[in-house]
Structure 1
Amino acid sequence: MILPLHRNRDRPRLIRLGMRLRILTLNVWNDEGDPRRLDRINRELRTLAPDLVALQEVIQTTERNQLDVLLDGTGLHGTHQARLTAVAPPYAERYGGSAVATRWPHQVVEMLDLRQSDALDVPWCSLAVTVPIPGEGKLLFIAATAAWRLDAEAARERQAVALTDLDARHRQALPTIIAGDFNASPDAASIRFLTGLQSIGGRSVRYHDAWAVAGKGPGHTWTADNPNAKSGIDQIVRQPDYRRRFDYVFVGSWHAHPKAHCHIETAALAFDHPADGIWASDHFGVVVDVEVGNG
């Protein structure tokens, strides 16, 4: 369990420290399941008090505005991909889109449509925003997602490479943070590429997987232990005991940010238990505390 965040203003500053940040990613699961889920997510967002939030499958139409419900009373500044596109991609009305929320007002620097010829049913774009971190400077935060089909790893590989190019185009001095639902387990090529364990097309990068650094246990986020996920697992996987870690927080490494740091302090699951009998989503979230600064 992660306790409410105590920022560095609450602790002695005998030496210069960076800013403590809390990052959260959650697949909201559009409007499936119990209609009370959004209020449950909103209540927990208020308790967790994250600073950087990546949300997937958030429905935003003229009739339905899930992002405002999710962020109500949190103090977070939110942007949904629907606000940045003239035409919604196919399936967006049914399966939603990506959204980002930040403690401090952010600037959108790019929205990346990651649909591929072999993954056209992916209405979720990736959003890159710069966020001013008080006393430290700007940080690039990318709210990402990837192709969902089990046999779409080739598309996910190309999407992972495209995300690293997105980072390179807008990288700041502070380490980039990428968070989202990647629909791939840690042994998949796309995730191995992001964590520096293998190359793709003669290219390699290195990001820290926050769970691998500070998480405990397997960290499964799409699992048969979640009743909301069971129907999807039964339909898509057709193996009753399926459990995988699909949701990640990645942190840029020294190689790309030699004059700054982002120390991963804790990583834990969020929304992984029912409240009043309500499960928040078909995914569990991931919440990560870091300390970020120059030097």
Structure 2
Amino acid sequence: MRLRAVTINVQNTEGDPRRLGLLNSELRRLAPDLVALQEVVDTDHLAALLEGTGLHGTHQSEAMSYTPPFVDRYGGNAVASRWPHRVVEVLDQRVRGAGDVPWCTVAAHVSLPDEGDVLFVSHTAAWRLDDEAVREQQALALTDLDARHRTDLPSIIAGDFNAAPEAASIRYLTGRQSLSGRSVHYHDAWEVAGEGPGHTWSVDNAITAALLDQIVRQPGHRRRIDYVFTGSWHAHPKARCEIRAAHLAFDEAVDGVWPSDHHSVVVDVEIGADRAA
């Protein structure tokens, strides 16, 4: 079946209040089947983002018995799907060195018509430029989570990984290097079907430019740090998830207002069990 997956960091509720309407309008236009959302403040914020989309949403707070620190400032993660889903795990990613990271990885089984359940995951990694060692720990924890809950259909993992493709955490996910003596393999949708550099955090975005001036303090900074990954044959030998298209969204200002400090990745796939000849 054809499936559209989107990941978008909505940048909580900072800045121009018109951003919420732009985010909602673009989600309705894109008509995705699966959405990984990051920096969502709470369930009310999620409901406003998804209004009129026909999507079912779950915020991390709905599946947790406690509230991580800094959620009120940075928000949390959420998943949304066109069909019913069931959250199977919320993973607190505050590993050593990431005590201020409130974004918990949310994993859900989504029931696809005539195909069965697929594991869909919304993830966010540590954000500091010098936190790659932390992101490596988080990537290992992410793949352990996938191993616990994956189905026959290839998993779809999406989110704000705060790391460029050449970083160790991303190289690990794409099978290019090991971490702690372990290795895995996922397909990076942009690498398969995207055109151009696919920068999702860029000085070309006026909101991002202000943050880059504070954090990076170097001119012309552009990176691809938001991803959609799909599970490969090695973990899913009875099914396939063929990446057919990948493009950016939320990457233009409307009447001078940028929807978020991140651009979104939109991916179209064909997913299903291998059919007998």
Q: TM-score, normalised by structure 2?
A: 0.98
Which stretch of structure 1 is more off in the superposition, 185-194 or 225-234? 225-234
Which of 163, 180, 186 is residue 165 of structure 2 equivalent to?
186
Give 1:31's aligned residue: 13
- Mapped partners of 1:190, 1:123: distance in 2: 19
Give 2:146's aligned residue: 167
Are positions 1:57 and 2:39 aligned together? yes
Where does 1:211-290 land on structure 2 (aligned, <5 Å)? 211-290=190-269
Where does 1:19-168 land on structure 2 (aligned, <5 Å)? 19-60=1-42, 65-168=44-147
User: What is the RMSD of the two structures over their aligned residues, measured on CA atoms?
Assistant: 0.8
The secondary structure found in structure 1 opposite 2:54 is coil
The secondary structure found in structure 1 opposite 2:258 is coil
The secondary structure found in structure 1 opposite 2:8 is strand
- Mapped partners of 2:163, 2:189: distance in 1: 15
The 8 Å contact of residues 87 and 106 in structure 2, kept in 1 or not, is answered as yes
The secondary structure found in structure 2 opposite 1:88 is coil
Deviation readout 1:119-145 (Å, 9 max, x if unpaired): 111000000000111111110001111
Q: Which amino acid aligns with 1:139?
A: V
- Mapped partners of 1:234, 1:109: distance in 2: 39
The secondary structure found in structure 2 opposite 1:230 is helix
- Mapped partners of 1:39, 1:276: distance in 2: 13
The secondary structure found in structure 1 opposite 2:143 is helix
Give 2:186's aligned residue: 207
Shift of 1:21: 0.3
Deviation readout 1:221-267 (Å, 9 max, x if unpaired): 00000001011101111112100000000000000000100000000
Q: Which amino acid aligns with 2:142?
A: L
- Mapped partners of 1:222, 1:186: distance in 2: 13
- Mapped partners of 1:36, 1:88: distance in 2: 28
Unmatched 5+ stretches in structure 1 = 1-18
Unmatched 5+ stretches in structure 2 = none
Shift of 1:85: 2.0
The secondary structure found in structure 1 opposite 2:248 is strand
| Structure 1 residue ranges, 4+ long, deviating more than 2 angstroms after superposition | none
The secondary structure found in structure 1 opposite 2:111 is strand
Deviation readout 1:42-89 (Å, 9 max, x if unpaired): 01111100001000001017xxx2101000010000000111223211
Deviation readout 1:269-293 (Å, 9 max, x if unpaired): 0100112322110000000000001
The 8 Å contact of residues 63 and 87 in structure 2, kept in 1 or not, is answered as no
Deviation readout 1:144-164 (Å, 9 max, x if unpaired): 110001100001001001100
Q: TM-score, normalised by structure 1?
A: 0.92
- Mapped partners of 2:244, 2:257: distance in 1: 29
The 8 Å contact of residues 193 and 246 in structure 2, kept in 1 or not, is answered as yes
Shift of 1:29: 0.4
Give 1:294's aligned residue: 273
Q: Percent identity?
A: 66
Shift of 1:169: 0.3
Give 1:196's aligned residue: 175
Give 2:156's aligned residue: 177
